[in-house]
Structure 1
Amino acid sequence: FSQGAIMALESIKAEPGLASRVIAFNGRYASLPETASTATTIHLIHGGEDPVIDLAHAVAAQEALISAGG
């Protein structure tokens, strides 16, 4: 669920290497990451018709992680 995804994404941003893998369902970063750790594999899974958190947040996160070297 989205709140759990937000907490997991923010946790690994604050503490790189905290988890080796994060699977985030329909979540988002509170603020997009400026760096990316290769110590954690991130799976962003998001439905295109989510009425709570827009898919654009997952796309923006993917783009930010790729541009940061993740």
Structure 2
Amino acid sequence: MKDKFESGLTKQEIWHNSCFVFYVLQMLERFEWIFGASALQSFYSAFVNTPLDKGAFYFKSIN
């Protein structure tokens, strides 16, 4: 018997999703460590089309 939440996901599926999100955040931190924060900010601002300071604030708020 599986425990299902209101979203319809099982506990194991939710665990895998949270692990994937954590993995993506780790990769972003590694990217920032290798290429520097300025590269990460320009990479982010190119996709989201925001100024660099807003992009930097966004990544600081995640971590």
Q: Comparing both structures, which one devotes a greater share of its residues to strand? A: 1
Scaled by the length of structure 2, what TM-score is found?
Answer: 0.34
Scaled by the length of structure 1, what TM-score is found?
Answer: 0.31
Q: Comparing both structures, which one devotes a greater share of its residues to helix? A: 2
Q: Which has the larger radius of gyration?
A: 2
Structure with greater contact order relative to length (CA < 8 Å, sep ≥ 6) = 1
